[in-house]
Structure 1
Amino acid sequence: MKDELRPKGGSKEIGPDPGQWALWVNGMDRNYRPFIMPVTWLSFIASLQVTSVKDLGDTEKILSVKEATENLITEADDLFSENKYKELYELLYPYKESNDVEILWRLSRALHHMSKQQCHNEEKKRYVFEGYDLIVKALQLNDSHYAVHKWYAIFLDTRAAYDGIKARVTQLPNVKNHLLQAVELNPKDATTLYILGYWCYNISSMPWYQRKIASAIFATPPTSSFEEALVYFCKAEEVDPNFYSQNLLMLGKTYLKLEKDEKARYYLKLASLYPPQTDDDLQAIKEACDLLKNLEKQQQQ
């Protein structure tokens, strides 16, 4: 049998003689299949080839840029935690023309806080408009980033305020939609939950003349309730307890609207004792103290 399988010419290799092909297939190696290397394997093996010196240099450059950006972001966040908004702005300003969303939304955030600290109206307006332009660019670059949607919502409202009450009312649904998108992308961001609660509270407290404007603009004007506002304020507190004096204040004010004085007093007391670090804290402490005094007067009557 061995000689019959040996090819003509006396070669010692064993293989099917043309005349014996049926025997090879049907008898000795019925399960034989030719091996064809999959494309994915070829790609994987290709990826293991030795990288050129030039490629290694490019990789090092990319890693170096990435590391530098991460260090820049870390420094920016440290400045923000220290309430050094102007220094933060000056740090990131040289990169405002970049397409790095992480830099753009942080620049917008710094400008927002700088505008709140600014007494001169023209400077305040300049900060708002610059921050708005930056966050619009960030949204165009990446519409799947929670912070971009959050700060776009904030600037959408503050920017519209310069165009009058009608413009601001017109943007109310858009503001809420972007806040909801931010929460969907990051449900653990307490600040966004607070802003949503604040939106609901303000809609529920809207003066009659603003409601009239809203009715003229929308077939169905935006609506909310103090109960809905309370849900968001409570969620914010659950995510990050005592993270913001204003959230404690708004919890107290919302419970007052719902005529739950004991719970209102509890949160107003927390707000009044909040360790002040910013102007927002000072404002919250003062308002909480005033509301507590009013509650005491009502109780004595």
Structure 2
Amino acid sequence: MSFTVTAESIRLTDTALMCIFCCWYVRPLTCSTYSLPSIIAWRGDKEAIDSYGPAANGNAFYIVSCDIMGALGKTHFKHVVLPELPERYITALADSEEEESDDDRKPLQEPVDELTALLRKADRLHSCNGAEKAQGLNALLERKAEFDQKCQYLWRLSRAYADAHDFAVDLAEKKSCAENGKKVGEEAISFNPQCAEGHQWYAILCGLLSEYESIQNKIKNGYLFKDHLDKAIELKPEDPLSYYLLGRWCYAVSQCTWIERKIAATLFGEPPSATVQDALQNFLKVEEISPKYSKFNYVFLAKCYKDLGQRSQAQQMCDAASAMNIQTKEDEEAQKELDSFVASL
């Protein structure tokens, strides 16, 4: 049985789901329905299509009528010849199909608990480049009484203290941020010793605090810095930040004077040991994991190559650093150090 449907018989207000068979292909079409109340959605299979062959021409389709499917089976298809639709209809059909498919693909969203919402807010503020980054500390401190036994909260609070430290102007405020951040970081590790971020940010706060400590505490914090970075890398070996920080530690140790090593040996029995080559390998690991990770990473690669007598490689790293835009406060510091370094190269 066959009939012809004209463009005028299409009603754009309905959204019935029909399954149209054309040239061996099943295509669900969400659009206006044809003015045939008997046509209902039915999803066929390739076997049913194969038994009737492809469409007779480019405008021919097989449409299943579910009214008769139950009684007569798959053998009853209505052959419909569709005219070329006006552009306004085609646009409406495409839009309708896209909207429904997007809705179909959209997963059901579960309610977000308060801790998750807070952690997401903290992550968003940390990712900011301006002074807004420092606002994360207050946002987290406001909920400390509720979540101060959650490692995921605590290591972010430690990180927020580090961010606040970087934006503080007063020296006493900077030291206070470093002290509080280190304390919170230690708490995070005590709740979950297997949290890589907990070890990573505890190490960072140890490094920040060492800037305001005595020689003895500075060296002690240096050992803590190294130990916890090693642990962070063990737990999360593909995090470029940990390798970058370890590279900085190795480079700083390689530049220690004889007297500094002697003091460390006197206080702790064995001075820290690292070479420029150790530092280079860590900075190269950063580039391997995350190419163009930071302007500072290129600066320290350049320094390592220069110290190893490889000036052409050092110049390449300077060029790479210069090519990176300045987006953060750290980038500004890196640019200053790059300008000074290039002048001595």
Residue pair 1:245, 1:274 contacting (<8 A) in 2 also: yes
Residue pair 2:210, 2:222 contacting (<8 A) in 1 also: no
Residue pair 1:272, 1:286 contacting (<8 A) in 2 also: no
Q: Could you give the per-residue CA deviations for residues 149-183 of structure 1, whole angstroms, max 9, x where no partner exists?
A: 11111222333443311211133222211100000
SS of residue in 1 equivalent to 2:138: helix
Q: Could you give the per-residue CA deviations for residues 86-119 of structure 1, whole angstroms, max 9, x where no partner exists?
A: 2211221122232111111111112112112212
The number of aligned residues is 233
Residue pair 1:204, 1:223 contacting (<8 A) in 2 also: yes
Tell whether 2:209 aligns with 1:159: yes
Superposed, which structure 2 residues align to 1:23-62 within 5 Å? none
In structure 1, the residue matched to 2:138 is 90
SS of residue in 2 equivalent to 1:188: coil
Superposed, which structure 2 residues align to 1:65-214 within 5 Å? 67-83=113-129, 84-97=132-145, 98-214=148-264
Between stretches 165-174 and 99-108, larger displacement belongs to 165-174
SS of residue in 1 equivalent to 2:269: coil
In the alignment, structure 2 segments of 5+ residues that lack a partner are 1-108
In structure 2, the residue matched to 1:237 is 287
SS of residue in 1 equivalent to 2:193: coil
Between stretches 164-173 and 106-115, larger displacement belongs to 164-173
Tell whether 2:313 aligns with 1:263: yes
Query: For the residues of structure 2 that align with 1:111 and 1:85, how far apart are their CA atoms?
Result: 11
Residue pair 1:194, 1:233 contacting (<8 A) in 2 also: yes
Residue pair 1:112, 1:131 contacting (<8 A) in 2 also: yes
Query: For the residues of structure 1 that align with 2:190 and 2:319, how far apart are their CA atoms?
Result: 43
Query: For the residues of structure 1 that align with 2:202 and 2:333, how far apart are their CA atoms?
Result: 25
Residue identity matched to 1:100: K
In the alignment, structure 1 segments of 5+ residues that lack a partner are 1-62, 296-301
Query: For the residues of structure 1 that align with 2:111 and 2:256, how far apart are their CA atoms?
Result: 49
**Superposed CA RMSD:** 1.9
- Residue 293 of structure 1: CA displacement? 3.0
Q: Could you give the per-residue CA deviations for residues 245-280 of structure 1, whole angstroms, max 9, x where no partner exists?
A: 211111111111111111111111121232112221
Residue identity matched to 1:74: R
Superposed, which structure 2 residues align to 1:213-292 within 5 Å? 213-292=263-342
Q: List structure 1 segments (4+ residues) > 4 angstroms apart after TM superposition.
A: 63-66
Residue pair 2:126, 2:163 contacting (<8 A) in 1 also: no
Q: Could you give the per-residue CA deviations for residues 201-228 of structure 1, whole angstroms, max 9, x where no partner exists?
A: 0000012331121121233211110111
Q: Could you give the per-residue CA deviations for residues 169-199 of structure 1, whole angstroms, max 9, x where no partner exists?
A: 1332222111000001001111110000111
SS of residue in 2 equivalent to 1:214: helix
Q: Could you give the per-residue CA deviations for residues 49-72 of structure 1, whole angstroms, max 9, x where no partner exists?
A: xxxxxxxxxxxxxx9886332222
Residue pair 1:274, 1:285 contacting (<8 A) in 2 also: no
Residue identity matched to 2:136: L
Residue pair 1:269, 1:288 contacting (<8 A) in 2 also: no
SS of residue in 2 equivalent to 1:138: helix
TM-score between both structures, scaled by the size of structure 1 = 0.73
Change (3 A) 1:220 1:125: closer
Residue identity matched to 1:78: R
Query: For the residues of structure 2 that align with 1:87 and 1:70, how far apart are their CA atoms?
Result: 18
Q: Could you give the per-residue CA deviations for residues 271-300 of structure 1, whole angstroms, max 9, x where no partner exists?
A: 1232112221012112213322332xxxxx
Change (3 A) 1:117 1:208: farther
SS of residue in 1 equivalent to 2:176: helix
- Residue 121 of structure 1: CA displacement? 0.9
Residue identity matched to 2:328: T
Return the structure number with greater strand share. Answer: 2
Query: For the residues of structure 1 that align with 2:300 and 2:186, how far apart are their CA atoms?
Result: 29
Return the structure number with greater helix share. Answer: 1
TM-score between both structures, scaled by the size of structure 2 = 0.64
Query: For the residues of structure 1 that align with 2:259 and 2:143, how far apart are their CA atoms?
Result: 43
Query: For the residues of structure 2 that align with 1:65 and 1:285, how far apart are their CA atoms?
Result: 44
